[in-house]
Structure 1
């Protein structure tokens, strides 16, 4: 049993499916082939999917045209959080690098006493 969401309005079958309807669908292990005869015309259909509530059988192409796998709601934020996390780590590394460079330059720029001041201290 897998949940699928309807992406296009479906008017045929025992139930009318609206866009956004979520249905429980079983994928058949073996393809069912059914033969039909209408007067002189005979044709066969292959069923790959069956809707659990109604028992309506779908072939592969028409099912994929009208339904998509429904995503659980908790997986959606992962798509948002991943780029935000990458941006956050990039900005954090920039800030840390900037602080390291500033501290290194600050240590290099410490005022060293001039020779005149050293000579004054020696005389005292």
Structure 2
């Protein structure tokens, strides 16, 4: 399952915890990611993932977003990953919870 490959990789690369779902009591800084869509072409799977970087300030969220982008781009070195492409990234502050966050969206092809 590609989600576990990504989580295990990011756990070893990022300075903050990484989650697949929002924890009940989240730490001050963390990354949450989810698959937003997937497909298959010529029997090769691909998916779009959204990586959300949470932090106490907008600046810290932006810095964490840069760390996430660099780490995700580094996944190209994994045997299970054949392509990593940044789709977009932007300020995605949660107005409901008043938490600062950035979101980076990547298209990832994998085996």
Shorter-chain TM-score above 0.5:
no
| TM-score, normalised relative to structure 1 | 0.19
Greater strand proportion: 2
Greater helix proportion: 1
Higher relative contact order (CA 8 A, sep 6+): 2
